[in-house]
Amino acid sequence: MVATSKPTSFCKAGMSLLSRKYLSLILASALLVAVPAGAAEYSLQAIIDQRAFYNGNLGMFSDPASTAQDQREMYASGYALAPRLNLRARSPRWQLDLNSVASFSRLSDQLYDSDDQKIGLKYGYTGARARWDVDASIDRSSTRSNVAELGEILAAVRSESYSLTPRWTRVLSERNSLALGGNWASVDYQARRFNDYDYYGFDITWLRQLSEQNQLQIGVYQSIFEAGEKRNNTDIESDTLGLTVALVRNVNEALSTNISIGARQVETSTPILCDFVSALFGQCTFGSRLGVNTTDSDGFTAAAGVDYTAQRWSVSASLSRSLVPNSTLGDLLETDTVTLSFNRQLRETLYFELDLSATQEDQLESNSFSRDRFRIAPRLRWQFAERWSMTTSVVHNSRDSLRFGSSNDAEGTSISFRVRYTHPRESWSR
């Protein structure tokens, strides 16, 4: 087993310096201040979305008509208003994009009403032999927008997520580069049913340009997942070490492919609690913490993708195996995902879009939880004026899950109509 105590301690010490809840905001503000002074171009664009929708199983319940759901119907209709703003600043060496969305949703079932806000920042700086990239986001939304991953929801509960992803790439020679990256995410729920968690780590990647079309990437990474609270003995910690080898090939201007394979090791620590029998014989206090149980899990990761763009249509497909945090269990899930996206311009102002995804999730080293999810979303978009468009979409979700031997299957279909107005981009310079 590879020792992980030193990297883990280093990551934890760094995260304890600042409150995680406000770290993204602090760094984003510092980044805005650090934007180099001098000649730059600025622009601002506003977009307004108005959407009306109907959902046949809003909470993704296995039995929508069950009296266990307080005899409430799970179908709902509603509308949403979502103004968007994009502020862009750029110069020959750097570019900064600040995106914000404020969404107001009102439904026939008021328990699912939601007012959501999201701010995203993307910054890139290119030097003589190095490049900096930083992505940061703050997302205050509700569990209704993430029901496919969370499972059943009785109401729209507030969730807050914060993320930060910096990356530095240095050109070492004509064919070799080195990239150092980090990632941090924190998710908090205003409901005890879901587990808050933090997920952070770093990676080092060597990039080798084999030819004009082919690039080899070899990377090592470590990540740490923490969920629950130690004070009530629900804490779980998983440390992951991994290695990946990837080949990226740009066949031509229209076609690109990628494939990667890797190995990972996960060490998970969970609390050992005093059970009822031990407490009955006076060996300990029921529910008290006796120690920590540590388990190891070895496995592989993989990914493959293809993208093709023609004059009037495009298609992209991917498959992957990775570890994904889950708030319902408060654990990492080994997740296999297959996706397909297709876009076709039918006429000059008419477009057809289709998204497909199939996901299989399993709990590490345990048969207590497994889940299969499927999603299909066809859309028809009509650009009926220069600044106006209308989109009609149908989304069907299905879920087959098994937890502690009990199945929980569900499916639901939603239909929505969206009208979008895109204001002309206003530009100025200094």
Region 5-429: CATH code: 2.40.160
Most confident of 24-33, 71-80, 414-423: 414-423
Return the HEC string of the chain.
Answer: CCCCHHHHHHHHHHHCCCCHHHHHHHHHHHHHHHCCCCCCEEEEEEEEEEEEEEECCCCCCCCCCCHHHCCCCCCEEEEEEEEEEEEEEECCCEEEEEEEEEEEEEECCHHHCEEEEEEEEEEEEECCCEEEEEEEEEEEEEHHHHHHHHCCCCCCCEEEEEEEEEEEEEECCCCEEEEEEEEEEEEEECCCCCCCEEEEEEEEEEEEECCCCEEEEEEEEEEEEEECCHHHCCCEEEEEEEEEEEEEEECCCCEEEEEEEEEEEEEEEEEEECCHHHHHCCCCCCCCEEEEEEEEEEEEEEEEEEEEECCCEEEEEEEEEEEEEECCCCEEEEEEEEEEEEEEECCCCEEEEEEEEEEEEEECCCCCEEEEEEEEEEEEEECCCCCEEEEEEEEEEEEEEEECCEEEEEEEEEEEEEEEEECCCEEEEC
Phi, psi of 111 (to 5 degrees): -65, -15
Name the amino acid, one letter, at 231: R
Window from 58-62, 133-137, 397-401 with minimum mean pLDDT: 58-62
407 vs 377 pLDDT, higher one: 377
Q: Work out the percent of the chain whose per-residue pLDDT is above 70.
A: 86
Q: How confident is the model at residue 18 (pLDDT cuts 50, 70, 90)?
A: very low
User: 206-225: per-residue pLDDT in tens?
Assistant: 999 999 999 999 999 999 99
Q: What is the pLDDT of residue 79?
A: 94
Q: How confident is the model at residue 419 (pLDDT cuts 50, 70, 90)?
A: very high
Most confident of 367-371, 405-409, 414-418: 414-418
With 60 as the cut, is the pLDDT of residue 28 above it?
no
User: 238-269: per-residue pLDDT in tens?
Assistant: 999 999 999 999 999 999 999 999 999 999 88
362 vs 352 pLDDT, higher one: 352
Q: What is the mean pLDDT of residues 107-118?
A: 87
With 50 as the cut, is the pLDDT of residue 205 above it?
yes
Q: How confident is the model at residue 95 (pLDDT cuts 50, 70, 90)?
A: very high
Q: What is the mean pLDDT of residues 155-159?
A: 81
354 vs 370 pLDDT, higher one: 354
Share the mean pLDDT of the chain.
Answer: 85
Q: What is the pLDDT of residue 16?
A: 43
Query: Quick one: residue 233, left, alpha or beta (phi over 0 = left, psi -120 to 50 = alpha)?
Result: left
With 50 as the cut, is the pLDDT of residue 1 above it?
no
Kindly report the CA angle at 68 between 65 and 69, in degrees rounded to 5? 65
Q: Work out the percent of the chain whose per-residue pLDDT is above 90.
A: 57
Q: How confident is the model at residue 17 (pLDDT cuts 50, 70, 90)?
A: very low
Most confident of 2-11, 15-24, 67-76, 388-397: 388-397
| Burial group, residue 135, by CB count within 10 angstroms (0-12, 13-18, 19+) | middle
Q: How confident is the model at residue 61 (pLDDT cuts 50, 70, 90)?
A: confident
Torsion (CA) 278, 281, 282, 287 in degrees, nearest 10: 30
Q: How confident is the model at residue 32 (pLDDT cuts 50, 70, 90)?
A: low
With 60 as the cut, is the pLDDT of residue 71 above it?
no
User: 297-318: per-residue pLDDT in tens?
Assistant: 899 999 999 999 999 999 999 9
Phi, psi of 405 (to 5 degrees): 80, 0
Q: What is the pLDDT of residue 275?
A: 84
With 80 as the cut, is the pLDDT of residue 375 above it?
yes
Question: Measured between alpha carbons, how far is 324 from 331 in angstroms, rounded to an integer?
Answer: 9
- Pick from 137, 41, 47: nearest CA to 96: 41
With 90 as the cut, is the pLDDT of residue 353 above it?
yes
* Domain spans in the chain, listed from the N-terminal domain onward: 5-429
Task: Answer whether 270's CB lies under 8 Å from 233's CB.
Answer: no
Q: What is the mean pLDDT of residues 322-344?
A: 90
